[in-house]
Amino acid sequence: MSELPIGWAYCSISEICLVNPKHSPKEERSQIVSFVPMSAVSEVSGAICAPEERKLEEIWKGYTHFQNGDVIFAKITPCMENGKIAIAENLINGLACGSTEFHVLRPELGVSGKLIWYFLRQASFREEAEPHMTGAVGQRRVPKDYLASHQYPLAPSTEQARIVEKLDLLFLHLQRAREELQKVQALNTNRSEQTKLLNNLEKAILNKAFQGNLVAQNPEDESASALLERIRQEREAQAPKRRAPRKKRAVGHA
């Protein structure tokens, strides 16, 4: 792993995200929510397109749960290799269920889901994940543990926001360049070379972003280590509630 700037820290994805969380059992089951099959995630834009509407009670069981702000990651071949990864946004009532072939990452407070999305969308990440897939040919999947334990270069919260702002701008320019290339493809015999150039530029931009070289660091920013410690403490504070024993039912006597 490359050396990170002062204030950054490597961590596992599970240290900064809940992995495959479920909806609260207190959710109103009769409400309408979004339903997201695999076909509703664009491998080109990395966005959810045309989700369906369903009653939550109809899709509660047998599907993957997620909510606004979560990152969904297609774990099965060839969807994983093709980049079917999206941020859950504009969901009906903020909730969704979807294909069982998604892993779900729910970023903790202070962690940018958009930046995690950029990280997972890197071709290099998916190429690295491919050899770790398990299962039969045609049904191979990225294991939950691989995704959860993967090392992530965590920047300070405020720097994450600056990186995302810069990436959004640069990727907008890249998208416009690709659209212009599409318009002139019939006249352009070097289109494949130009496409390769744009892909290499995208890779270089993301490399700079996750090595801490895309935006300037601010020594006044709270460090990533401090952010990780706060997340750890908040999780510990929540743990007793999650581990609270169920009340035993009274046993009747004949």
pLDDT tens-digit series, residues 131-180 = 999 998 889 999 999 999 999 999 999 999 999 999 999 999 999 988 88
Angle ∠(89,174,78) on CA atoms, nearest 5: 60
The Cα 3–Cα 211 span in angstroms is: 8
- Confidence at residue 58, expressed as pLDDT on a 0 to 100 scale: 97
User: Are 19 and 107 members of one domain?
Assistant: yes
Residue type at position 46: G
User: Are 48 and 93 members of one domain?
Assistant: yes
Distance of CA 178 to the CA centre of its chain: 24
Q: Is 42 exposed, middle or buried (0-12, 13-18, 19+ CB in 10 A)?
A: middle
Q: Which of 122, 129, 135 is nearest to 150 (CA)?
A: 129
pLDDT 10s per residue in the chain (254 long)? Answer: 789 999 999 999 999 999 999 999 999 999 999 999 999 999 999 999 999 999 999 999 999 999 999 999 999 999 999 999 999 999 999 999 999 999 999 999 999 999 999 999 999 999 999 999 999 888 999 999 999 999 999 999 999 999 999 999 999 999 998 888 877 766 666 677 888 889 999 999 999 999 999 999 999 999 999 999 999 999 999 887 665 555 554 444 43
Structural domain range at position 226: 154-231
Q: Which residues pair with 55 in a beta bridge?
A: 32
User: Are 24 and 125 members of one domain?
Assistant: yes
User: Are 132 and 207 members of one domain?
Assistant: no
Q: Tokens representing 21? A: 């969380």
Asked if the structure places residue 55 within a domain, the reply is: yes
User: Are 39 and 119 members of one domain?
Assistant: yes
Tokens 């599409």 locate to: 182
* Number of domains making up the chain: 2
User: Are 136 and 183 members of one domain?
Assistant: no
In this structure, the number of other CB atoms found within 10 A of the CB of residue 88 comes to 24
User: Are 181 and 206 members of one domain?
Assistant: yes
User: Are 178 and 209 members of one domain?
Assistant: yes
